[in-house]
Amino acid sequence: MDKQFKDYNLPDERGHFEKFGGKFVPETLIPALEELENYYKVAKQDELFQDELNGLLNNYSGRETPLYFATQLSEELGFNVWLKREDLNHTGAHKINNALGQILLARRMGKNKIIAETGAGQHGVATATVAALFGLECIVYMGEEDIRRQKLNVFRMNLLGAEVRPVSSGSMTLKDATNEAIRDWVTNVESTYYLIGSTVGPHPYPMLVRDFQSIIGKEAKVQFVKQSGKALPNRLVACIGGGSNAMGLFYPFIKDDIKIVGVEAAGKGLESGEHAATLSKGDFGVLHGAASTLLQNEDGQVTLPHSISAGLDYPGIGPEHSYLNESGRVQYFSATDTEALDSFQWLSEKEGILPALESAHALAYLRQDNNGIEPGEHIILCLSGRGDKDVHTVAEALGLNL
């Protein structure tokens, strides 16, 4: 492995992962980002903060989540599949890890209003949950198209006391919800905490979300040794929209000599023009406050992504993933809507686990012909969320009317 990864220590002081990352935001937000960074630096070193967070992760969210050896999958595939069960978290996905961390920061900063963007609704639910827990006002921006696809999560957020604000501009999905959240934040910056749900946005968010999610990889590393008797897995696999569950699993292993694979959403196919495979098909650009990789046209206008999974339906990707891709540390593959649907059913039938459609993309990679996996390998796959929220989408795709 290259020395640059043995000493991996990014982002730099300015929030850059080499040419990716940074702070591309209106001037109004600069003081807010600096304030957040300062509070985070203190909290990171503060035992009281870490104890409170760990207490909530353990006793409120139900960590640690199991590392489950998938016997049936492994038998069928000829290699060993370990599922990191983030689907068993409170609220049904890894999103709560980050939401708990950030809400504690928001409280320290004295902010009384929480805003968030959401795609699939999992981050919105996680944010609404932690806002309810601490009695803070919560507004979640969500594209109208996503509201249609994820009615159940909208109702869950309402039950948790959050206001879901429909966004009808642009593609009416996650990208536009993020624009609207940023506009709210610019306007109410002094009273409002913007609780970003993925490893995207201006510095320090990609770093901060990664750090809060890296509990996934830290636990998995210890669990794997204990359960398998081996020092390290051969390979990690996770799906990528913005990239938070993936960074959470990858980061604690980044200096280890193992293969790491991210799986993007290829929608109706990489050549169809209807996909969300940012790293495969996008190029360098700036969106939502960071330099990264973007789906865009030749004039630099952001183009509309497509994925059956609302959580992956995003034209950008976290800046650290862009760096890990360009530097070659992580390999990025993609899986289509159809492959994800097949794998959704596959895991349900084989292991009795309904995966989120997002996570089903990672599962689909295991079954691809050219994935490079050797027989007998040990693979940890992040099962980032549970599939209950997706049953209507899956039924629709299968031509059923529930």
Cβ pair 97, 215 in contact under 8 A: yes
The rounded distance, in Å, linking the Cα atoms of 196 and 10 is 20
Contact status: 179 vs other proteins (CB under 8 A): yes
Cβ pair 161, 148 in contact under 8 A: no
Q: With CB under 8 A as the contact rule, which of the stretches 44-52, 93-101, 186-194, 345-353 interacts with other proteins?
A: 186-194
Contact status: 391 vs other proteins (CB under 8 A): no
Contact status: 284 vs other proteins (CB under 8 A): yes
Short-list 63, 101, 7, 355, CA closest to 222: 63
The residue among 188 and 331 lying less far from other proteins, judged by its C-beta, is 188
The residue among 23 and 210 lying less far from other proteins, judged by its C-beta, is 23
Contact status: 4 vs other proteins (CB under 8 A): no
What's the Rg (C-alpha) of the chain?
19
Site string for other proteins, 21-50 (x = CB under 8 A): -xxxxxxx-xx-------------------
Residues numbered 296 to 335 that lie near other proteins (CB under 8 A) are 296, 298-302
Contact status: 282 vs other proteins (CB under 8 A): no
Contact status: 289 vs other proteins (CB under 8 A): yes
Contact status: 273 vs other proteins (CB under 8 A): no
Query: Which distant-in-sequence residues (6+ apart) come within 8 Å of 84 by Cβ?
Result: 65, 67, 216, 219, 220, 249, 380, 381, 382, 383
The residue among 14 and 226 lying less far from other proteins, judged by its C-beta, is 14
Rule CB under 8 A: choose which of 116, 167, 189, 216 binds other proteins: 189
Contact status: 7 vs other proteins (CB under 8 A): no
Contact status: 63 vs other proteins (CB under 8 A): no
b/e sequence 93-115, b meaning 16+ C-beta within 10 Å = bbbbbbbbbbbbbbbeeebebbb
Rule CB under 8 A: choose which of 94, 123, 175, 210 binds other proteins: 175
Rule CB under 8 A: choose which of 85, 210, 259, 288 binds other proteins: 288
The residue among 291 and 356 lying less far from other proteins, judged by its C-beta, is 291
Q: What are 351's two structure tokens?
A: 């292991």
What is the nearest approach in angstroms of other proteins to the Cβ of residue 296? Answer: 7
Rule CB under 8 A: choose which of 182, 240, 246, 353 binds other proteins: 182
What is the nearest approach in angstroms of other proteins to the Cβ of residue 113? Answer: 14
What is the nearest approach in angstroms of other proteins to the Cβ of residue 329? Answer: 24
The residue among 304 and 397 lying less far from other proteins, judged by its C-beta, is 304
User: Known catalytic residues?
Assistant: 95, 117, 384
- Cα distances (Å, whole numbers) of residue 122 to 92, 98, 315, 320, 323: 8, 12, 18, 22, 26
* DSSP three-state, residue 142: strand
Cβ pair 151, 124 in contact under 8 A: no
- Cα distances (Å, whole numbers) of residue 233 to 139, 250, 260, 264, 378: 40, 12, 10, 22, 5
Rule CB under 8 A: choose which of 152, 286, 391, 397 binds other proteins: 286
Q: What are 319's two structure tokens?
A: 């800046």
Rule CB under 8 A: choose which of 190, 229, 271, 352 binds other proteins: 190
The residue among 204 and 262 lying less far from other proteins, judged by its C-beta, is 204
Residues forming beta bridges with residue 164, ordered by sequence position: 140
* DSSP three-state, residue 81: strand
DSSP-assigned letters across all residues of 190-244: TTEEE---SS-SSTTHHHHHHHHHTHHHHHHHHHHHHHH--SS-SEEEEE-SS-H
Residues forming contacts to other proteins in the complex (CB under 8 A) are 14, 22-28, 30-31, 169-170, 175-176, 179, 182-183, 186-190, 284-289, 294, 296, 298-302
